[in-house]
């Protein structure tokens, strides 16, 4: 068992997109360190299999799988209800689920799919669980972004990306939204004992982008043998979720377990606050944080 074993004993953690890749390794590490872990994924078969594997590998029976399509607001609400009916506290929420879509699609709620899954799902799930996180404070929110956020801007005139869609552009935009959201959340949560940080995991050989088609799919196929392993890629998520060294640290962006500057656009508070209002309207949620 690792250095933070004692620290995570009795903690309740949720990891989204935990059936494979970085999320699965993160969930396994939290279970290894003694936490109760809720794994969330869209695919029941894969999610159940990974959860059983984590129980067997760690000897920790307190790993439970909840199925949810995190691009669907209804599924996210059901997930939050299901969780709240079973648990009184949440110590760590790792928003990790993500994907890239070569062709423009819309979610069941009519939102551009990349934004719905990679960003708006994080916004809604986090806010639905916020009271529980505060109740268990100190608590941590860990949002998996990407360094590709640095190329993006948020254009409020075309939030649905109806013109000039590319999968990469949609992905970069969703990852910038995560960083803006994380900083805004940290500002709103000052004094509550709940921290919010974002991270870039590295370039990691997971299933990510393999089905995405386009340039990113091709690059992923060609160069993935030089990428980090999922275990290496999960280290910053695990660090932010577990390490006593980051207790109380909030509103930061981490790469390789170090706090670094994110893009200039990600620090624009006017954009963050406008995005927050836009997100509240799109999810019909009013947050008093």
Ligand X SMILES: NC(=O)c1ccc[n+]([C@@H]2O[C@H](COP(=O)([O-])OP(=O)(O)OC[C@H]3O[C@@H](n4cnc5c(N)ncnc54)[C@H](OP(=O)(O)O)[C@@H]3O)[C@@H](O)[C@H]2O)c1
98 lies in the site for ligand X, by CB under 6 A: yes
Least distance to ligand X from the beta carbon of 215, Å?
14
CB of 73 to ligand X, least distance (A): 12
User: Is 93 near ligand X (CB under 6 A)?
Assistant: no
Other beta carbons less than 10 A from residue 191's beta carbon = 7
CB 54 within 8 A of CB 39: yes
| 63-67 β-sheet, strand order | 63-67, 36-41, 12-16, 92-95, 139-144, 194-200, 253-255, 258-260
3 state DSSP class of 192: coil
Q: Provide the mask over 246-275, with x wherever binding to ligand X is found by CB under 6 A and - wherever it is not.
A: ------------------------------
Instruction: Determine whether 171 is an active site residue.
Output: yes
Residues 28-47 that bind ligand X (CB under 6 A): 41-43, 46
Which segments of 9-116 does DSSP mark as H helices, in order? 21-32, 44-58, 73-86, 113-115
Stretch that binds ligand X, among 94-102, 130-138, 182-190, 276-284 (CB under 6 A): 94-102
Question: Under the criterion CB under 6 A, does residue 22 sit at the interface with ligand X?
Answer: yes
203 binds ligand X (CB under 6 A): yes
Among 27, 30, 99, 176, binds ligand X (CB under 6 A): 99
The CA-CA-CA angle for residues 220, 224, 225, to 5°, reads 160
Q: How far is CA 160 from the centre of its chain?
A: 21
Binding site for ligand X (CB under 6 A): 17, 19-23, 41-43, 46, 69-71, 96-99, 117, 144, 146, 200-201, 203-204, 206-208
């Amino acid at each position: 068992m690792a250095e933070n074993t004692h620290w995570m004993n009795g903690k309740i953690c949720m990891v989204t997109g935990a059936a494979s890749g970085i999320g699965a390794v993160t969930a396994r590490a939290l279970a290894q360190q003694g936490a109760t872990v809720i794994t969330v994924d869209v695919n029941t078969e894969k999610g159940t299999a990974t959860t059983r594997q984590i129980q067997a590998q760690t000897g920790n029976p307190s790993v439970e799988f909840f199925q949810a399509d995190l691009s669907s607001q209804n599924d996210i609400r059901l997930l939050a209800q299901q969780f709240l009916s079973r648990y009184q506290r949440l110590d760590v929420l790792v928003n990790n689920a993500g994907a890239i879509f070569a062709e423009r699609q819309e979610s069941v709620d009519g939102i551009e799919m990349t934004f719905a899954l990679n960003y708006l799902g994080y916004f809604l799930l986090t806010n639905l669980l916020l009271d529980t996180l505060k109740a268990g404070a100190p608590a941590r929110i860990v949002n998996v972004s990407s360094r590709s956020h640095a190329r993006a801007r948020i254009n409020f005139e075309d939030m649905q990306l109806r013109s000039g869609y590319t999968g990469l552009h949609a992905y970069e935009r969703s990852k910038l939204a995560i960083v803006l959201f994380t900083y805004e959340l940290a500002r709103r949560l000052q004094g509550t004992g709940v921290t919010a940080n974002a991270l870039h995991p590295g370039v990691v050989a997971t299933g990510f982008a393999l089905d995405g088609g386009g340039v990113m799919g091709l690059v992923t196929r060609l160069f993935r043998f030089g990428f980090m392993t999922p275990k290496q890629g999960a280290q910053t998520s695990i660090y932010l979720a577990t390490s006593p060294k980051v207790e109380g640290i909030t509103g930061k962006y981490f790469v390789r377990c170090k706090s670094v500057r994110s893009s200039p656009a990600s620090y624009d508070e006017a954009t963050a606050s406008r995005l927050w209002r836009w997100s509240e309207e799109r999810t019909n949620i009013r947050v008093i944080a």
